[in-house]
């Protein structure tokens, strides 16, 4: 079946200081009386009309128009377009070519002989002529699936020789002169595909790009061409011809938005891990294109899905439940196997978890006295090489799909990203990212299988903060302020892509740094601050109220989310404070999150 989608756009330059007037007529013909019905034109027309309304067009719709109604709508639209700065005509439905002339087909057309085209069809060149009387610039886009439903009747009436000479496949090219752009869904005379969804590949691509602010029509067509060529595996290539005398923008470029990064981050951090549907929707209302908008939408989706499914635990993988770590025994204090992490001793003792500052964020209060037993902590984060070995020896492949940062500093899900390709270059010696809490638990359990009795586990939040402070009492795990940060930790420095970067210094690492690139702390531990956020064993709680006096991990609270500590390569300096804490869903993988292990001291 043949579907033509045509867009005729008339663009008149707006006078300085005067708002543009933009009008559109959208027609979709699918309910044909004398030809098979078409499922997509109504969908195409409604979707395009909605897209145009969103970018400021005054839109008139015409669905399933017969010949009289179609001619009347086009005539009325010619009058409506008079004086408009930008006018647009969209057509979806049957269309054919005869003797190099293109025709749009009303729903009541009965095409049995050559002369019926002039009586019942709408010549495309007459539509263009009507539009040219009202505007200086015209753009026509045609989408057709080239399966002419009237071909058999017309060929029989015309005879084989004449029909072969005049009744062409597909649509014919259009001569352009004096400010006309014509775009076809495929090369003239070639077959275009209708698609298996609600829209054809060409219409789908147009919908993806028509509302892009500041995108010139030729650039839009280039993007549409690339999308369709990829979608159809190279079988369909949109084509265009132009005599435009000026640049034409369907959606003018918006003024640069105000920099609301600080408000965005503050609102997101203020939500907390217990944020429900109402709070997440409030964030999206305030920052629909915010740094964490995609994460918020994913969490909303998870909440909606959870309401439909039976209760289940935090683990979402199909793997069997995790076994608890074997009971620890006295073993060598540094390394338990050839590839096991090198461990260093952390002395333990009396400490205070959290901040005593009454102005500190609620999540960092109250300051809670604790006494920690000595423990051993891995001197580095778990490496890419160790994760590679884990997968090879267990046969378990960590799923792909990881939140990564885009070039413009927004967090987006990349379905292809994973620990070996987290959006930046890594080697086996690099710290491993794109690991969720469940991955971290399984890697830890595997290490215990390699070193029976070692008792490897994730650190508690209290142990991580104690090791990070390393006996210091300042807000950061180093002496001095922002000027000294780059000599001690990998965060968002002056050379990073992020708007919240620390402009006081350059740490030499635009993203992840090799393990051990920065000085060890007083305990001999590397990169506890910056480089990667690190998982702890604790369930998320909105404050330290109820934290155990011995610093053990909290097993109550919102256990579908777990606590992260330490900050990362993409974080503002404030996130590297020794008391700063966040929580994310245990099943979430991010390109700035990794892990390290601890074990009891012998």
In tens, the pLDDT along 223-272 reads 999 999 998 889 899 989 888 888 888 888 765 556 677 787 778 777 76
- Measured CA to CA in angstroms, residue 439 lies from 174, 390, 587, 593 at distances of 59, 11, 9, 11
Indicate whether 295 and 357 sit together in one domain. Answer: no
| Residue 469 counted as domain residue | yes
Mean pLDDT, residues 403-428 = 88
| Token code pair at residue 397 | 């492949």
What is the tens place of the pLDDT at every residue in 353-389?
A: 999 988 889 899 999 999 999 999 999 999 999 999 9
Indicate whether 234 and 294 sit together in one domain. Answer: no
Query: Among residues 482, 490, 489, which one has the least CA distance to residue 569?
Result: 490
Q: Cα(204)–Cα(169) distance, rounded to whole angstroms?
A: 23
Tell me the H-state helices in 340-460: 384-394, 437-450
Structural domain tally of the chain?
Answer: 3
Q: Cα(125)–Cα(131) distance, rounded to whole angstroms?
A: 10
Query: Among residues 284, 290, 584, which one has the least CA distance to residue 434?
Result: 584
| Token code pair at residue 388 | 């590679």
Indicate whether 451 and 501 sit together in one domain. Answer: yes
DSSP state of 476: S
Indicate whether 206 and 299 sit together in one domain. Answer: no
| Residue 554 counted as domain residue | yes
Is the CB of residue 516 less than 8 Å from the CB of residue 496?
Answer: no
- Domain, as residue range, for 274: 261-308
What is the tens place of the pLDDT at every residue in 230-241?
A: 988 898 999 898
Indicate whether 277 and 170 sit together in one domain. Answer: no
Across all residues in the chain, what is the average pLDDT? 83
What is the tens place of the pLDDT at every residue in 312-322?
A: 343 333 334 44
User: What is the value of pTM for the model shown?
Assistant: 0.53
- Measured CA to CA in angstroms, residue 483 lies from 486, 487, 494, 502 at distances of 7, 9, 11, 9
| Residue 316 counted as domain residue | no
| Residue 334 counted as domain residue | no
Indicate whether 479 and 596 sit together in one domain. Answer: yes
Indicate whether 72 and 119 sit together in one domain. Answer: yes
| Token code pair at residue 139 | 């753009």
Indicate whether 268 and 388 sit together in one domain. Answer: no
| Residue 74 counted as domain residue | yes
402-405 vs 411-414, strand pairing mode:
antiparallel
Indicate whether 287 and 412 sit together in one domain. Answer: no
Q: Reduced to 3 states, what is the DSSP secondary structure of residue 535? A: strand
């Amino acid at each position: 079946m043949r579907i033509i989608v045509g867009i005729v756009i008339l663009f008149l330059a707006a006078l300085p200081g005067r708002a543009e007037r933009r009008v559109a007529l959208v027609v979709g013909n699918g309910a044909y009386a004398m030809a098979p019905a078409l499922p997509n034109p109504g969908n195409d027309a409604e979707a395009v009309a909605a897209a145009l309304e969103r970018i400021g067009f005054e839109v008139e719709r015409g669905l399933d128009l017969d010949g009289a109604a179609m001619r009347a709508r086009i005539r009325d639209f010619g009058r409506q377009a008079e004086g408009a700065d930008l006018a647009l005509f969209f057509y979806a439905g049957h269309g054919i070519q005869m003797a190099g002339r293109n025709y749009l087909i009303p729903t009541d057309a009965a095409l049995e002989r050559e002369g019926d085209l002039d009586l019942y069809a709408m010549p495309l060149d007459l539509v263009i002529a009507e539009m040219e009387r009202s505007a200086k610039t015209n753009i026509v886009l045609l989408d057709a699936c080239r399966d002419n439903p009237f071909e058999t009747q017309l060929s029989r009436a015309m005879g084989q020789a004449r029909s072969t000479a005049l009744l062409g496949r597909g649509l014919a090219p259009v001569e352009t002169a004096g400010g006309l752009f014509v775009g076809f869904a495929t090369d003239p005379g070639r077959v275009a595909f209708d698609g298996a969804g609600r829209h054809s590949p060409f219409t789908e691509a147009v919908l993806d790009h028509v509302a892009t602010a500041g995108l010139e029509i030729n650039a839009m067509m280039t993007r549409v061409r690339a999308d369709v060529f990829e979608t159809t595996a190279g079988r369909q290539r949109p084509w265009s011809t132009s005599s435009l005398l000026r640049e034409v923008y369907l959606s003018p470029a918006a003024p640069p938005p105000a920099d609301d990064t600080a408000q965005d981050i503050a609102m997101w951090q203020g939500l907390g891990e217990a944020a429900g549907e109402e709070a997440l929707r409030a964030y999206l209302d305030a920052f629909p294109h915010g740094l964490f908008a995609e994460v918020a939408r994913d969490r909303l989706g998870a909440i909606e899905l959870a309401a439909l499914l039976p209760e289940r635990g935090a683990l979402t993988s199909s793997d069997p439940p995790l076994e608890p770590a074997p009971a620890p025994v006295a073993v060598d204090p540094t390394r338990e196997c050839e590839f096991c992490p090198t461990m260093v001793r952390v002395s333990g003792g009396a400490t205070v978890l959290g901040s005593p500052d009454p102005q500190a964020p609620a999540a960092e209060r109250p300051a809670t006295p604790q006494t920690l037993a000595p423990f051993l902590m891995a001197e580095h984060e778990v490496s890419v090489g160790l994760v590679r070995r884990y997968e090879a020896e267990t046969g378990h492949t960590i799923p792909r799909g990881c939140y990564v940062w885009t070039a413009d500093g927004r967090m987006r899900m990349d379905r292809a990203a994973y620990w070996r390709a987290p959006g930046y270059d890594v080697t086996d010696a690099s710290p491993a990212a794109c690991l969720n809490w469940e991955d971290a638990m399984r890697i830890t359990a595997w290490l215990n299988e390699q070193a029976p009795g070692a008792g490897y586990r994730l650190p508690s939040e209290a142990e991580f903060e104690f090791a990070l402070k390393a006996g210091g009492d300042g807000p950061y795990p180093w002496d001095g302020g922002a000027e000294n940060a780059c000599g001690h930790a990998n965060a968002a420095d002056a050379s990073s892509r992020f708007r919240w970067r620390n402009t006081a210094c350059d740490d030499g690492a635009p993203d992840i740094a090799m393990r051990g690139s920065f000085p060890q702390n007083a305990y001999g531990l590397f990169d506890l601050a910056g480089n990667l956020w690190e998982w702890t064993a604790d369930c998320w709680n909105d404050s330290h109220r109820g934290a155990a006096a011995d610093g053990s991990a909290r097993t109550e609270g919102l256990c579908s989310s777990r606590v992260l500590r330490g900050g990362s390569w993409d974080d503002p300096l404030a996130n590297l404070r020794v008391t700063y804490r966040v929580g994310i869903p245990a099943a979430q993988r991010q390109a700035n999150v990794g892990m390290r292990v601890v074990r009891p001291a012998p």
